[in-house]
Chains A and B, each alone.
Chain A
């Protein structure tokens, strides 16, 4: 009977974690899943949680939409990491797809000067649990680990539109200023995640 008392919450937690697809206001998931970082170490999302918030971007090496937004994503990642936002990029693609190898990830991160983790989602389950479907796909969480913004990096197609709105940057600024996020969800065309 004593064992049952603990079994039920554990079972519930595992169910939530297994089926979760998060929406606005939901807490971040899969924080304890170990993923290989580009420096060879094993990291979790929990290792990257920031005091002011946490930015998770599902990305990859080869998608033309990622390539078009790469500079913007890296600039934002590097800048806001310094401001207390945890930043982590995650690659959930099947590595048998050309260009999405671990070595490819390391090369890209070095070339683009990532100062944050770029992790391998080795089962694609982290993407599934977040509800990420394409690359790039942005998830911004507040200091309470609740999802406050999800969607596109900014306005544009295969890269920023001149004079276009920078959705993610605006959401980050509003988060850091303690303001409500004015645009909580946006959409952009992207490459489907090559789920394993």
Chain B
């Protein structure tokens, strides 16, 4: 009996911990938080991707983005996702990420205001999805709309 409970415990524990891990990777962020994340990025190159779980082009592109992450993260490129899902959908966002890739830092914008847009980039029109590349807090490239893996590679390689 004890043996069965122990097996159950050791099976359940990693599942529980992975849920906590996913939740920790997803944080609410004000425009000031977003600015700070972008300005204080620790890597030489920071890719910021703004998206939403309900956004069809965002979902279609997501696997390409994850592949780009898998390729470039070991090379030192930092990735930051900014979700424009409702703050109350924290778990839904975490679940989406867990289904695709649990390790990418994600912020959920607390407000979808012009201040949030400006906190990411003054060049951004507000269109979803949108992707930005920063070096030392300075924007080096940006595009709106979905891109292929090849296009991600080309854009990032051009700055490495």
Contact = CB atoms under 8 A, between A and B. Distances in A.
Interface of A: 64, 97-98, 133-134, 152, 155-158, 161, 186-192, 194
Contacts of B145: 192
Contact of B112 (A133, A189, A191): A189
A91 to B, nearest CB: 16
A192 B112 contact: no
Interface stretch (B9-17, B53-61, B67-75): B53-61
B128 interface: yes
Contacts of B56: 97-98
- The winner among B111, B124, B126, B128 for most chain A CB atoms within 10 A is B126
Chain A facing B: main interface SS = loop
Contacts of B84: 157, 189
Given A134-B126, A189-B116, 19 more contacts: A133-B127, A133-B144, A134-B128, A152-B114, A155-B114, A156-B112, A157-B84, A157-B111, A186-B114, A187-B114, A187-B118, A187-B125, A189-B112, A190-B126, A190-B128, A191-B55, A191-B128, A192-B128, A192-B145
Nearest to A188: B126
B103 interface: no
User: Do most interface residues of chain B lie in helix, strand or loop, or is the interface mixed?
Assistant: loop
A189 B86 contact: no
24 contacts: A98-B56, A133-B125, A133-B127, A133-B144, A152-B126, A155-B113, A156-B113, A157-B113, A158-B86, A161-B113, A187-B114, A187-B117, A187-B118, A187-B126, A188-B112, A188-B114, A189-B84, A189-B112, A189-B116, A189-B127, A191-B55, A191-B127, A192-B57, A192-B129
Contacts of A192: 57, 127-129, 144-145
Interface string B112-155: 11101110000011111100000000000000110000000000
Give the one of A155, A190, A191, A194 with max B CB within 10 A.
Answer: A191
Contacts of A133: 125, 127, 144
Given A152-B114, A158-B86, A134 B125 contact: yes
Interface string B86-102: 10000000000000000
A155 B56 CA distance: 25
A189 B144 contact: no
Nearest to B50: A189
A57 B86 CA distance: 25
Contacts of B129: 192
Nearest to B146: A192
A191 B128 CA distance: 5
Contacts of B127: 133-134, 189-192
Contacts of B128: 134, 189-192
A155 B111 CA distance: 11
